[in-house]
Copies of this chain bind each other. A is one copy, B any other.
Amino acid sequence: MMNSAVISDKKFRVTALAGGVGGAKLAAGLAACLPPSKLTVIVNIGDDFDHLGLRICPDLDTVCYALAGIANPATGWGRADESWHAYEEIVNLGGAGWFRLGDRDLATHIIRTNRLRQGEESLSMITNDLCGMWGVDLTVLPASDDPIPTQVYTEEGILQFQEYFVEKKCIPKVREFRFLGIDHARPAPGVIPAIRAADMVVICPSNPWVSIDPILAIPGISDEIRQKDVIAVSPIIAGETIKGPAAKMYRELGIVPSALAVAQHYIGLLSGFIFDMADGALENDIKNMGLCTYKTNTVMLTEHDRQKLAQEVIEFGIHMKAN
């Protein structure tokens, strides 16, 4: 990973919270701006699930593949240069076809599942090891080694997250989210130290309800984050998301989706908030919440976009701390 951007404070240390595609993009941008020893990415595990006997960790893989530069640039998830032969045959053999598994991606699931099942290694240990093999030299941590599967309460009943997200294409209207086992989940080793050591915590532009909330809900994590300078980047731009159901969820929960709503979602945690230029009209409302604000282009279409946004996030944090 080349550090192409120049940051004014070389010792500045960032811990980022990330979910899927949007979070992975900003994480990759941050990785391009910071030395590996100065960046830790804590990743959502609420959407992890078992499929065909394999342990699948969609957000963790999306983040790792993005950081390793092996993500599929078209989809944002899965591997570049992917083939689908195993998946085709799985479907031919009556296996569930609603969750697509690429051939290269499958290797990750097979290796991880086998190592987890042997019972001697935790998800965080395995993730650390896989990252090493992918050439990812910063620290990537699953938020917890304890599963906390997101339960989506919908008009059609309670759905497992991937059922809701992939199988049902986010169509059922949501009412509530719960994370099974959350009361007893422990932060993965390294999570609390990474938050404590951070000069700034960045909440990536991921879904607040189902990507960031599961991380924040793990006992101990919010309390540590609250001690820190925390900047969130809004995943909502002009009332919509680039990808994913966050805006739809806000509406179904009776909240007008907006950058302001995101800032309010994280109320009590944040010191600064970054949102898109398209939402300039909301700036005063956000400032009135007592937050420092920064307005910029937050749409990350290219590698340059994500590095530029990451650099702005870091400089905003450095500037905020200095003032």
Using a CB–CB distance below 8 Å, which chain A residues touch chain B?
Answer: 52-54, 82-83, 85-90, 92-95, 103-104, 106-108, 110-111, 113-114, 117, 129-130, 133
| CB < 8 Å neighbour of A93 from B54, B83, B107 | B107
- Nearest-CB distance from A259 to chain B (Å)? 39
Q: Are B53 and A114 in contact (CB under 8 A)?
A: yes
A110 to B110 CA separation, bound complex (whole angstroms): 9
Question: Given A83-B85, A103-B86, are A93 and B108 also a contact pair (CB < 8 Å)?
Answer: yes
In the bound complex, residues from chain B placing their C-beta under 8 Å from that of A93 are: 107-108, 111, 130, 133
A54 to B108 CA separation, bound complex (whole angstroms): 14
Task: Determine the residue in chain B with the shortest Cβ distance to A114.
Answer: B53
Q: Are A107 and B89 in contact (CB under 8 A)?
A: yes
In the bound complex, residues from chain B placing their C-beta under 8 Å from that of A90 are: 107, 110-111
Residue pairs across A and B with Cβ atoms less than 8 A apart, 27 shown, are: A52-B111, A53-B110, A53-B114, A83-B83, A85-B104, A85-B107, A86-B104, A86-B110, A87-B107, A88-B104, A88-B107, A89-B106, A89-B108, A90-B107, A90-B110, A92-B107, A92-B133, A93-B107, A93-B108, A93-B111, A94-B133, A95-B107, A95-B110, A95-B111, A95-B114, A103-B103, A106-B106
A107 to B54 CA separation, bound complex (whole angstroms): 12
Copies per assembly: 2
| CB < 8 Å neighbour of A117 from B53, B87, B129, B130 | B53
Q: Are B111 and A94 in contact (CB under 8 A)?
A: yes
Given contacts A85-B103, A86-B106, A86-B107, 8 further A-B contacts (CB under 8 A): A52-B114, A86-B104, A89-B103, A89-B104, A90-B110, A92-B107, A92-B133, A94-B129
In the bound complex, residues from chain B placing their C-beta under 8 Å from that of A82 are: 85
In the bound complex, residues from chain B placing their C-beta under 8 Å from that of A53 are: 110, 113-114, 117
